[in-house]
């Protein structure tokens, strides 16, 4: 056997390891499915100008990404994306939401919509902060 250190992006290794962890987790996980959930807004040319992506499992909606293009910000689009995700998650039986955001991103946006910081990672990646936020959906 031999250990190897890899300093370049290796998608095959990353996917292999992720799949192995997923196989292990599904054997021990108390829920049997994790369903993707997304909402997008397209302009008249079919270009995505805003969107939100996540997944639901058990009681939880986990939001991975919420993005609104610079020229669309300030028009309530982020709020509509988030509300739609939360409503669809409620329809799937979810009663909680988890997301994370960085200090220069959307913490005030989420706080004004009922999210609160569960945990803050300081000095991330050097001098910033990462906030793990939750909200009850019921």
For 4-24, the pLDDT digits (tens) are 999 999 999 999 999 999 889
51-65 pLDDT tens trace: 999 999 999 999 999
Q: Which of the 8 DSSP states describes residue 71? A: G
The pTM of the full predicted model, rounded to 2 decimals, is: 0.86
pLDDT above 90 (res 25): no
Percentage of the chain surpassing pLDDT 90? 90
pLDDT above 90 (res 33): no
Distance CA 110, CA 78 (A): 10
> Edge-to-edge strands of the sheet including 35-42?
35-42, 48-57, 60-68, 96-102, 129-136, 116-122
70-99 pLDDT tens trace: 999 999 999 999 999 999 999 999 999 999
């Amino acid at each position: 056997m031999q250990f190897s250190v890899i300093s370049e992006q290796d998608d095959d290794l990353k996917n292999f390891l992720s799949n192995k962890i997923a196989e292990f987790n599904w054997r021990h996980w108390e829920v049997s499915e994790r369903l993707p959930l997304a909402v997008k807004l397209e302009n008249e040319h079919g270009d995505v100008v805003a969107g939100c992506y996540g997944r639901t499992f058990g009681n939880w909606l986990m939001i991975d990404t919420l993005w609104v293009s610079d020229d669309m910000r300030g028009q309530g689009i982020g709020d509509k994306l988030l509300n739609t995700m939360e409503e669809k998650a409620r329809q799937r039986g979810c009663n909680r939401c988890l997301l994370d955001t960085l200090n220069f991103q959307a913490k005030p946006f989420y706080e004004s919509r009922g999210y609160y910081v569960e945990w803050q990672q300081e000095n991330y990646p050097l001098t910033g902060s990462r906030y793990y936020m939750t909200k009850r959906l019921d």
